[in-house]
A = this chain, B = another copy of it.
Amino acid sequence: MIAHAADSLMDAVDRLAAPVCVGIDPVVARLPEGLRQADVTTISAAEAIGSFTLHLLDAVAGRVPCVKLQSACFERYGHAGVKVLGECIAAARQRGLVVILDAKRGDIGISAEHYAAAVFGDGAGRGDDARPDWLTINSYLGEDGIRPFLGAGRGAFALVRTSNPGGDAVQGQRLADGRTVAESIAAVVASIGEDFVGPGGYSSLGAVVAATRPEDAASLRRLMPRQIFLVPGFGAQGGGVADVLPCFSAEGRGAIITASRSVIYAFEDGKGGWAAGVAEAAERFADEIGRAAGLR
């Protein structure tokens, strides 16, 4: 019996008392000195960000419950990058980390089923370990763009409120019934998610809700009581501890705060070995959020 995706994620958070996720967005230009190469080809670039990712996984495993891999960083190196991405997903799972693939896929019907198979299926010739536990998806296509991703027994985080300024012009618009577009999508997500609630009370359909909109987060939390919130925007993107608190339930549960650049490039301050700097930043991040949520 495979555990429900939401339960597995919440259990992993509880074990470490750390409702956080480290975002891994590796770029060649910011690799630590020892991993840089003078002559960068496509394959060597893909291998270099793969190698950096493996070191990052070693540095954060045991300190945070989960990682979010940015698919775009790997896809930019074509099929070589996609191959390395699969290896990194497997490596993360082997280290006991819950893996979120941040690919923001979105299509309808049979095309959405193809994407679900690409991420969660065995058609890509991978073992079970090379598939992520969760995937981010786009919700602009509505219900038939969401359901196909939930059939594999894994989880999906649907975009509801994003952290970028341009998101306001779409998601922040006010409907005739008084709700924002983001709130109306939250209602769609909450409704679909009811069909996928696990024993622990959370759904395998979660929601992306940015930390940069604390006033929206409180209303979205009420509209989506069974959704785990994946919360980008903390740290480098400007959100602070006070901004993320409305994403949690009263018990300090149901949200995963993500930080990427502030952790994986922590070594750029130049102190000590680079992997140690990343580990320390991950630990500090987990402790800060764990305390704020009342789990430590």
Contact = CB atoms under 8 A, between A and B. Distances in A.
* Copies of this polypeptide in the complex: 2
Given A75-B118, A107-B104, A164 B141 contact: yes
Contact of A169 (B118, B143, B162): B143
B170 A140 contact: yes
A90 B170 CA distance: 36
A268 interface: no
Contacts of A117: 76
Interface string A104-122: 1111111110110110010
B140 A169 contact: no
Interface residues of A, number: 67
Contacts of A144: 164-167
Contact of A164 (B42, B108, B162): B108
B170 A142 contact: yes
11 contacts: A27-B114, A70-B114, A75-B118, A76-B123, A78-B125, A80-B124, A106-B106, A108-B162, A144-B166, A170-B185, A174-B175
Given A79-B79, A104-B105, A140-B167, 5 more contacts: A27-B114, A45-B123, A76-B115, A79-B80, A140-B159
